[in-house]
């Protein structure tokens, strides 16, 4: 009997050990399958994110080309939005700003940037093409960098003493020369004949600004609120209402004052106005407007915008410009390493996947801005055809 019990105990111990071994093997296979599934999911997600076409609503390549001697759009170490960076980042639509300051000679400088834009389209036709409403329906089907031009500061249209009829003539001429302007901001940081800029609070919309808005509405050129004083933004919105203008509104390169208080950032009140009117807000990558110390704050701006104003509110408006001749040393470095040039979009989206539902990522990457410009382009292109 004792032998049988002993034999039974040996058998059960053996079976128990075997069971444990099987359990361990099963567990290890399970873990390995999960590890591989996670890995595959990560690879798929990375591939998916890196294949999103990118739309960016603001860069200053044209002023670099017009101002800097021997400027070259292919020179990747010269400017963060050089063509190789845009291509590496998967940018399928880039809005190129025609930027001028408020000073004598601003119209001539704007003209040089119009010429630089035309030259970009002709001399780099293998990389850059003019964006059209039809292409915006399916950006991925059109390789290369789609381009639109915009005016940043209406000082490029008219100097302070230029007769207004001449300014409005120039508006039409430039609008035609670039194949339809993507938007205009009336001001930059300072005040001009049209209104008050970001750093001239207390100066609102002036009589010439009203007339320019009326002319823009006729041509269906959106108004950009990124460089207005609050009083100018208010004046613009009131004038649109009062005059019954059909004028799309956007903030092409603005972050949120609620996240980082800065005169260049947009208040929630005006952001709400932009979004309610079907406009978009382009997230700006400049360190000064994100948080001068914290590279992760870009995520806080994006999450704030999406949570407060909905998934259709935001796009990218990185604001890459030529920084090498910038006089204020406190602004260096202008961009944090995580967004230091236009090749950053896929890695930025990958990190954003930790903060946002995955369905929001393509909206931010291209869908919101593409929808905005598609609506605008359809009307603009019909207008240009009529002549
Ligand atoms: Zn700007």
- Ligand 1 centroid–CA 374 distance in Å is 23
Domains in the chain, please, with CATH? 54-386 (3.20.20.140)
**Distance from C-alpha of 337 to C-alpha of 156, rounded to nearest angstrom:** 32
- Ligand 1 centroid–CA 66 distance in Å is 17
Q: How far is CA 8 from the centre of its chain?
A: 75
Instruction: State residue 35's pLDDT score.
Output: 64
- Ligand 1 centroid–CA 70 distance in Å is 23
- Ligand 1 centroid–CA 187 distance in Å is 10
Q: How far is CA 185 from the centre of its chain?
A: 15
**Distance from C-alpha of 357 to C-alpha of 364, rounded to nearest angstrom:** 11
Instruction: State residue 10's pLDDT score.
Output: 57
- Ligand 1 centroid–CA 185 distance in Å is 9
**Residue with token string 């076409």:** 53
Q: Which residues of the chain have pLDDT under 50?
A: 1, 11, 43
Instruction: State residue 27's pLDDT score.
Output: 72
- Ligand 1 centroid–CA 359 distance in Å is 29
- pTM here is 0.88
- Ligand 1 centroid–CA 189 distance in Å is 8
- Ligand 1 centroid–CA 224 distance in Å is 10
């Amino acid at each position: 009997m004792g032998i049988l019990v002993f034999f039974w105990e040996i058998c059960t111990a053996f079976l128990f050990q075997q069971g444990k071994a099987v359990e361990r093997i099963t567990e290890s296979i399970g873990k390995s399958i999960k590890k591989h599934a996670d890995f595959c999911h990560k690879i798929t997600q990375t591939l998916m994110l890196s294949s999103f076409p990118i739309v960016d609503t603001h860069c200053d390549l044209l002023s670099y080309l017009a101002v800097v001697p021997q400027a070259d759009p292919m020179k990747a170490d010269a400017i963060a939005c050089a063509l190789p960076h845009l291509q590496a980042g998967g940018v399928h639509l880039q809005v190129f700003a025609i930027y001028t300051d408020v000073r004598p000679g601003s119209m001539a400088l704007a003209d040089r940037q119009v010429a630089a834009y035309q030259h970009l389209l002709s001399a780099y036709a293998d990389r850059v093409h003019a964006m059209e409403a039809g292409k915006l329906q399916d950006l991925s089907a059109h390789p290369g960098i789609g381009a639109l031009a915009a005016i940043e500061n209406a000082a490029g249209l008219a100097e302070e003493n230029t007769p207004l009829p001449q300014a409005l003539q120039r508006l039409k001429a430039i609008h035609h020369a670039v194949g339809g302007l993507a938007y205009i901001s009336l001001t930059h940081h300072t005040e001009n004949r049209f209104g008050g800029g970001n750093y001239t609070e207390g100066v609102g919309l002036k009589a010439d600004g009203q007339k320019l808005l009326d002319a823009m509405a006729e041509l269906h050129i959106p108004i950009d609120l990124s460089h207005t004083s609050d009083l100018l933004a208010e004046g613009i919105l009131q004038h649109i209402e009062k005059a019954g203008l059909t004028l799309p509104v956007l903030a092409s390169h603005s972050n949120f004052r609620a996240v980082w208080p800065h005169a260049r950032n947009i208040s929630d009140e005006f952001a709400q106005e932009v979004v309610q009117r079907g406009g978009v807000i382009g997230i700006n990558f400049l360190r000064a407007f994100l948080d001068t110390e914290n590279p992760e704050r870009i995520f806080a701006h994006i999450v704030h915008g999406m949570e407060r104003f909905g998934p259709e509110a935001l796009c990218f408006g990185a604001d890459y410009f030529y920084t090498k001749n910038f006089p204020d040393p406190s602004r260096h470095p202008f961009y944090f390493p995580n967004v230091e040039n236009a090749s950053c979009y896929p890695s930025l989206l990958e990190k954003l996947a930790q903060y946002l539902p995955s369905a929001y990522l393509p909206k931010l990457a291209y869908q919101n801005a593409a929808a905005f410009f598609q609506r605008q382009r359809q009307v603009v292109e019909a207008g240009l055809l009529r002549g």
